Amino acid sequence: MANQRQIGWFNLVLALLGSCVILFVVAPLVGIVLATPASDLKAASVDREVLESIRLTLAAALFATVTSALVGVPFAYLLARKDFWGRSIVLAVIDLPIIIPHSAAGIALLTVIGRQSLIGRLFGRPLTGTTAGIAVAMAFVSIPFLINAAREAFGSVDTKLEKAARTLGAAPWRVFFTISLPLARRGILSGLVLMWARGISEFGAVVIVAYHPMTTPVMIFQRFNDYGLGAATSVAVLLILICVAIFIMLRVFLRPKAEEF
Amino acid sequence: MANQRQIGWFNLVLALLGSCVILFVVAPLVGIVLATPASDLKAASVDREVLESIRLTLAAALFATVTSALVGVPFAYLLARKDFWGRSIVLAVIDLPIIIPHSAAGIALLTVIGRQSLIGRLFGRPLTGTTAGIAVAMAFVSIPFLINAAREAFGSVDTKLEKAARTLGAAPWRVFFTISLPLARRGILSGLVLMWARGISEFGAVVIVAYHPMTTPVMIFQRFNDYGLGAATSVAVLLILICVAIFIMLRVFLRPKAEEF
Amino acid sequence: MLELQSIGKRFGAFELKDVSLTINDGEYFVLLGPSGVGKTVLMEIIAGLIRPDKGRILWDGEDITSRPPEARGFSVVYQDYALFGHLTVRRNVAYGPAAAGASAEKIRRQVAGLAEILRIEEILDRYPKSLSGGEQQRVALARALAVGPQLLLLDEPLSAVDVNTRLRLRKELKRINTELNVPVLHITHDPQEAITLGDRICVMLDSRIRQVGTAAELFHEPCEPDVARFLGMRNILPVNRVKGGVCFIDDRQIEAGAADETTTHIWIRPEEILISTEAFESSARNQFRCLVAEIEHHGSLPAVQVVSGAMSLTALITYRSFKELQIAVGAEVYITFKSSSVHCL
Amino acid sequence: MLELQSIGKRFGAFELKDVSLTINDGEYFVLLGPSGVGKTVLMEIIAGLIRPDKGRILWDGEDITSRPPEARGFSVVYQDYALFGHLTVRRNVAYGPAAAGASAEKIRRQVAGLAEILRIEEILDRYPKSLSGGEQQRVALARALAVGPQLLLLDEPLSAVDVNTRLRLRKELKRINTELNVPVLHITHDPQEAITLGDRICVMLDSRIRQVGTAAELFHEPCEPDVARFLGMRNILPVNRVKGGVCFIDDRQIEAGAADETTTHIWIRPEEILISTEAFESSARNQFRCLVAEIEHHGSLPAVQVVSGAMSLTALITYRSFKELQIAVGAEVYITFKSSSVHCL
């Protein structure tokens, strides 16, 4: 029937367009894996320099995430609950690191933690070229992801639950820890993992703040520049696999379970 | 009264933590602006090399955004409406570029558009070092932002409106253009601006795909490496100002207007 | 004429089972059932928005089971009206005719005509958001009628408006049905609404059709106790056994003219039970001494619940008798009802 | 005893104006009004969740206006129950005592006691999501009662459950109020519910308190036509002038024993109007020849709307009389009512 075919056409066109998008995203990833002989990958995975950079990258990103969480999650609760003057400006400021080009962000960070900066002079030496400096760069570019995720998670907790808890005799801090935080935990956890992943993958800001010690994204760039494409791909594949593993963890373990509540 | 003060304490602690976050985000941006003499900024803004790179960056990102929109927006509608087998895998695939380190993404793109790739051989020359290559790199890292924004925008359109339109005699394509798209337009538009901004600010993937022609984020890195911090800051400030301007546009003009509908 | 033949549909744990029904030309047909019973699913199956797993849908004898919604000509009015928020009222109403490719002049005339019928001329250039519930409802009706529907499907159309608007809109709906001669399928969970509006009423419980009939049929001969209870009837008593027109109910015996061996339940209309403070002789065959267990004031007619042994009955009396008899909880009273007032299920 | 003194609160266009009321110890107090009138805002002001702009709140004479909710001891049951989804029923109920620092043993006993009273022993280890509406309602009540509240605030507690559960829960609420001697503030938009439950009822219209009184007072002496209309009363007629106990209403004259110069409206109870097919002599002073304009079946009592000139009245008669008199739309009938049945507003 003509009308039946019409529905079919419409969805078919959409599905075709979708295939183009999927292909565009998947092709480079499949391409790089195909371009990397298994032997190269094995060699990279026992290369002490590579392993050390991976350890550094994971640790620096974790440090950045945990520190940001202690400060950022309670703040996200405030943003989700209170409608104070200038709130929308504060929300905009928090999003700034997302849209600022990361190489420019790296330069900007240098003015705060570099040789000539207040912090540089305070510590007697700059944070550039240190693990702390790397963590600061990672935190700067990825903290919006955590705060936004936590804010949305708190926002989806019905305020009536908190109000009911108040009338049952719980003070605000008790309500926060026994009601708001547990009910928002999935959203917050996925914000933490997202921030960690963004920290691990940061290149632009980190390469400017610290070329050494070398994080893995920087090492990929360095090997590409110094030794060519072949030398870079095996490290790139290794890092892509780690990121994809974290990502799968995020998707599979933190998916909201419909049956629970 | 004791209990009154308790509420005050709770919010006060949250506000203090919030100030730390704001300071952390704002300090580097204020720092870099303070560190840049007005004369340097003026010099940069008439530097032909800088202006050419800004033009290139804006144009390549625009091209990437418009092309992605034509393919991605209809696809986002499909994702918002149909619950097909493997949908969650497709959603995950679309998010991949967000978590893959951008220098690794650049390497991966080289395997598709580089000298040895299928496309490279097809065109007789690789896309590396061309504006098209830059646009591809920008599109790869930023298309998830557009598709997710559009998908959420379509998702927030009540399907009952579309069903009602169907029973009033409108075929699926008519429903899409007269109901779904107009109702989702704000969300889609803000997705477009977000994708454009992300394209402009991309550094990691672009620097690997094309060192020349030089986009502004790459130029910041090159000047920092070749001439030091002073040479990089003025260009960085210029680019930050452009990004902040786009960002303000996004916030002010695309904020959902409560009074309309 | 719409015919559903053994329609079935499954979504996970939910299942619509073997639904067959007929809606005649020009009929006001009410689908009545508690929420969650699948009424909306059934409506969307009729509209073509959901495809049934089993069964056929016929329109005037033609099989339309696989015809898409835009080709059926059955328009839907949803509970929350589903107005297009980005279009003015005028363009909402014009949506259907425009999709059908009508000329601008024809659309103008059609909108004007419907705006007059539904009294929305004043609000044609406003946006839906700024309208009251009753106004939105009328706009949704105008939009649905603008396509000249074969059948109007109304999903709980009156549940989101306040009591006074509801009473007004009820009349409006009935008037549209009669004047425009459009058959209507009206979904509701409210027995009152079904009685007031329906030419025929279909009671749906547990995803299954239980009884179809006029309001009078349903209220005088509900086919099973579940239906009777859902319709809000009180005084439904299970019968242990029947012997010679006498129903044995636990420790009491009730004379029922219509009782026979197939009677499983009897039902006595609350307003057919007389309350008195003393026993009296009369032609009524059933009289019991009772205690008043509870008094509920529903509106201005007190409902008096009395118990006699294990049997509990409710009687509806006027406020005046209530005051004159000085009925109070715990008082001893007599109830009397005729054998012909005992209805058998 | 709770006292509100001239409470005012403004949120943008919404304004709560000068609310003063008193809830006595052990009283079941119903706040009745249409939705959007500010009933929930008023409840949250009482609970301490919203601070009023103006006025004072006193509890047993002590000013508690600026006391935070956790120190007031007024527990709230919201319309959708607001159960904590991440806690079992047991831990939901124990939430308040735990926050107050009670010992594990004391909490255990308290939960067990309430679980028995509210019959939720079987579901103590389940999560709220898996419960039915009625069960969730009882859990919400148990949780609110576990803190031994000074005052129980119920926000439309019965609007989300089906009819049968609603009738059962009404009794439960009343029982809790009586047995535990907790004063209750119950918010509803349903006059029926207010009548059934309230020791006193407060009618709120347009963000303002209009009348406070017992159900009998409200229904027999509503202070203004708006209140009477909101309570669902029919047959409210505006009076042009009164002369010697006779009310002039457009082209008709009605004798009313209680009428005097201050009477602006009269009101006749629908069930106090007698319908007959012929005129007859009686002690009733008002008799009019009418036409039947409409018949509505609400449940089993038909409401017959009749018109006599410009005057329109509704009479409620039994189904039996309805059938015996063979009343149909357009028929000529007589209505008769006593002068003492005419209530003056």
**D184-188 vs D151-155, strand pairing mode:** parallel
The pLDDT assigned to D215 comes to 81
Contact flag D96-A168 (C-beta cutoff 8 Å): yes
The pLDDT assigned to B260 comes to 39
For residues B205 and C34, the model is more confident at B205
**pLDDT at C270 exceeding the cut of 90:** no
Name the residue in chain B with its Cα closest to that of A246.
B99
The pLDDT assigned to D298 comes to 60
Task: Tell me phi and psi for residue C64, to 5 degrees.
Answer: -115, 20
Q: Tell me: the pLDDT tens digits for A216-250?
A: 999 999 999 999 888 899 999 999 999 999 888 87
pTM recorded for the entire structure: 0.80
For residues D217 and C164, the model is more confident at D217
- 3 state SS of A185: helix
Contact flag C75-B183 (C-beta cutoff 8 Å): no
**pLDDT at B231 exceeding the cut of 70:** yes
Residue D57 CA to residue D48 CA, distance in Å, equals: 10
End-to-end, the C-alpha distance of chain C in Å comes to 32
Residue D138 CA to residue A130 CA, distance in Å, equals: 60
Contacting residues of A for C66, CB less than 8 Å apart:
1, 4
- 3 state SS of C47: helix
Q: How many CB atoms lie within 10 A of CB B236?
A: 34
Residue B35 CA to residue B230 CA, distance in Å, equals: 9
Tokens read off for C242 = 């029947």
| DSSP single-letter state for residue D70 | G
With bands split at pLDDT 50, 70 and 90, how would you rate the model's confidence at A260? very low
Is the N-terminal amide bond of A213 cis, ω within 30° of 0? yes
Name the residue in chain A with its Cα closest to that of B237.
A104
Residue D202 CA to residue D215 CA, distance in Å, equals: 10
Instruction: List chains adjacent to chain A, taking adjacency as at least 3 C-beta pairs closer than 8 Å.
Output: B, C, D
> Considering only A45-49, B38-42, C114-118, D169-173, which range has the smallest mean pLDDT?
D169-173
User: CB contact, 8 Å: D13 with chain C?
Assistant: no
Q: Tell me: the pLDDT tens digits for C122-158?
A: 999 999 999 988 899 999 999 999 999 999 999 998 8
Sign of CA dihedral C236, C242, C243, C249: negative
Tokens read off for A180 = 């708001």
The pLDDT assigned to D257 comes to 79
- Kindly give, in sequence order, each residue whose CB lies less than 8 Å from that of residue B123, ignoring residues fewer than 6 positions away: none
Span B177-196, average pLDDT? 93
Residue count of chain B, please give it: 261
With bands split at pLDDT 50, 70 and 90, how would you rate the model's confidence at A196? very high
For residues C264 and B177, the model is more confident at B177
Contact flag A163-D76 (C-beta cutoff 8 Å): yes
The pLDDT assigned to D299 comes to 54
With bands split at pLDDT 50, 70 and 90, how would you rate the model's confidence at D24? very high
**pLDDT at A255 exceeding the cut of 70:** no
- Give bridge partners of residue C154 from the DSSP assignment: C77, C186
DSSP secondary structure, C280-342, as one string: ---S-SEEEEEEEEEEEEETTEEEEEEEETTEEEEEE--HHHHHHHT--TT-EEEEEE-GGGE
The set of long-range contacts for C235-238, using a CB threshold of 8 Å and a minimum separation of 24, is C235/C267, C235/C268, C235/C269, C235/C270, C235/C273, C235/C313, C235/C314, C236/C265, C236/C266, C236/C267, C236/C345, C237/C265, C237/C266, C237/C267, C237/C268, C237/C311, C237/C313, C238/C264, C238/C265
User: CB contact, 8 Å: A167 with chain C?
Assistant: no
- Using a CB–CB cut-off of 8 Å, the residues of D that contact B are 66-68, 70-71
Interface test with A, best of B4, B103, B117, B215 (most A CBs within 10 A): B103
Q: Tell me: the pLDDT tens digits for C10-33?
A: 987 788 989 999 999 999 999 999
Q: Tell me: the pLDDT tens digits for B84-112?
A: 888 989 998 998 998 899 999 999 999 88
**Cβ atoms of residues C216 and D322 within 8 Å:** no
**Stretch (H or E) spanning A65:** helix A48-81
Contacting residues of B for C153, CB less than 8 Å apart:
167
**D200-205 vs C208-213, strand pairing mode:** unpaired
The pLDDT assigned to C298 comes to 60
Interface test with C, best of B158, B160, B168, B188 (most C CBs within 10 A): B168
Q: Tell me: the pLDDT tens digits for D194-204?
A: 887 889 999 99
With bands split at pLDDT 50, 70 and 90, how would you rate the model's confidence at C108? very high
Q: Between residues 135 and 154 of chain B, which touch chain A (CB distance below 8 Å)?
A: 139-140, 143, 147
Which amino acid, one-letter code, is at D228?
A
Name the residue in chain D with its Cα closest to that of B8.
D68
Contact flag B109-A35 (C-beta cutoff 8 Å): no
The pLDDT assigned to A63 comes to 96
Domain ranges for chain B, please list them. Answer: 1-34, 48-260
- Kindly give, in sequence order, each residue whose CB lies less than 8 Å from that of residue D111, ignoring residues fewer than 6 positions away: D90, D93, D94, D97, D124, D142, D146
Helix, strand counts (H, E) of chain D: 9, 21
Contact flag A161-D82 (C-beta cutoff 8 Å): yes
**Cβ atoms of residues C250 and C282 within 8 Å:** no
- 3 state SS of D304: strand
The pLDDT assigned to A173 comes to 93
Which one, of B247, B219, B212, lies nearest residue B233 by Cα?
Answer: B219
> Considering only B68-72, C43-47, D118-122, D266-270, which range has the smallest mean pLDDT?
D266-270
Tokens read off for C281 = 């002789």
Contacting residues of B for A249, CB less than 8 Å apart:
none
Residue C237 CA to residue C251 CA, distance in Å, equals: 12
**C54-59 vs C62-63, strand pairing mode:** antiparallel
Angle at alpha carbon of residue A210, lines to B222 and B39, rounded to 5°: 45
| DSSP single-letter state for residue C126 | S
The pLDDT assigned to B1 comes to 35
Q: Tell me: the pLDDT tens digits for C281-313?
A: 777 788 899 988 877 766 556 788 888 887 888
D49, D80, D147: residue with CB nearest A168: D147
The pLDDT assigned to C202 comes to 95
Supply the ipTM of this predicted assembly.
0.76
Contacting residues of D for A176, CB less than 8 Å apart:
none
**pLDDT at B259 exceeding the cut of 60:** no
Contact flag C44-B163 (C-beta cutoff 8 Å): yes
Contacting residues of A for D143, CB less than 8 Å apart:
164, 168
The pLDDT assigned to B258 comes to 40
Span D20-48, average pLDDT? 92
The pLDDT assigned to D164 comes to 67
Tokens read off for C270 = 């609350």
With bands split at pLDDT 50, 70 and 90, how would you rate the model's confidence at A5? very low
Q: Between residues 137 and 196 of chain D, which touch chain C (CB distance below 8 Å)?
A: 162-164, 191-192, 195-196
User: CB contact, 8 Å: B70 with chain D?
Assistant: no
Contacting residues of D for C163, CB less than 8 Å apart:
232
Residue C300 CA to residue C317 CA, distance in Å, equals: 10
Residue B168 CA to residue B181 CA, distance in Å, equals: 18
Tokens read off for C307 = 């118990």
End-to-end, the C-alpha distance of chain D in Å comes to 31
Name the residue in chain A with its Cα closest to that of B230.
A107
Mean pLDDT of chain B: 89
User: CB contact, 8 Å: A190 with chain B?
Assistant: no
Mean pLDDT of chain D: 87
Name the residue in chain A with its Cα closest to that of B233.
A107
C-alpha to C-alpha distances, C295 to C276, C303, D32, D101, D270, nearest whole angstrom: 15, 6, 21, 43, 21
Helix, strand counts (H, E) of chain C: 9, 21
Name the residue in chain C with its Cα closest to that of B179.
C84
> Considering only B27-31, B213-217, C240-244, which range has the smallest mean pLDDT?
C240-244
Buried b (16+ CB within 10 A) or exposed e, A181-211: bebbebbbbbbbbbbbbbbbbbbbbbbbbbe
> Considering only A62-66, C122-126, C166-170, D21-25, which range has the smallest mean pLDDT?
C166-170
**Cβ atoms of residues D29 and D182 within 8 Å:** no
> Considering only B146-150, C86-90, D218-222, which range has the smallest mean pLDDT?
D218-222
DSSP secondary structure, chain B, as one string: -HHHHHHHHHHHHHHHHHHHHHHHHHHHHHHHHHHS-HHHHHHHHH-HHHHHHHHHHHHHHHHHHHHHHHHHHHHHHHHHH---TTHHHHHHHHHHHHHS-HHHHHHHHHHHHSTTSHHHHHHSS-STTSHHHHHHHHHHHHHHHHHHHHHHHHHTS-HHHHHHHHHTT--HHHHIIIIIHHHHHHHHHHHHHHHHHHHHH--HHHHHH-SSSPPHHHHHHHHHHHH-HHHHHHHHHHHHHHHHHHHHHHHHHSSPPTTT-
Calculate what percentage of chain C has a pLDDT beyond 90. 43
Q: Between residues 144 and 163 of chain B, which touch chain C (CB distance below 8 Å)?
A: 158, 160-161, 163
With bands split at pLDDT 50, 70 and 90, how would you rate the model's confidence at B115? confident
Calculate how close chain A gets to D130, using CA atoms only, in Å. Answer: 9
Contact flag A4-C68 (C-beta cutoff 8 Å): yes
**pLDDT at A258 exceeding the cut of 70:** no
For residues C228 and B121, the model is more confident at C228
With bands split at pLDDT 50, 70 and 90, how would you rate the model's confidence at B124? confident
**Cβ atoms of residues D197 and D224 within 8 Å:** no
Which one, of B134, B156, B148, lies nearest residue B95 by Cα?
Answer: B148
Span D236-257, average pLDDT? 85
- Kindly give, in sequence order, each residue whose CB lies less than 8 Å from that of residue C176, ignoring residues fewer than 6 positions away: C117, C141, C145, C152, C182, C184
User: CB contact, 8 Å: A204 with chain B?
Assistant: yes
**pLDDT at D300 exceeding the cut of 90:** no
CATH 1.10.3720.10 fits B48-260, yes or no: yes
With bands split at pLDDT 50, 70 and 90, how would you rate the model's confidence at D43? very high
User: Angle of helix A185-201 relative to helix A229-253, nearest 10 degrees?
Assistant: 180
Buried b (16+ CB within 10 A) or exposed e, B157-186: beebbbbbbbbbbbbbebbbebbbbebbeb
Q: Tell me: the pLDDT tens digits for D97-112?
A: 999 999 999 999 999 9
The pLDDT assigned to C297 comes to 67
Q: How many CB atoms lie within 10 A of CB C166?
A: 19
The pLDDT assigned to B249 comes to 82
Is the N-terminal amide bond of B213 cis, ω within 30° of 0? yes
- 3 state SS of D196: helix
List of domains in chain C: 2-230 (3.40.50.300), 236-344 (2.40.50.100)
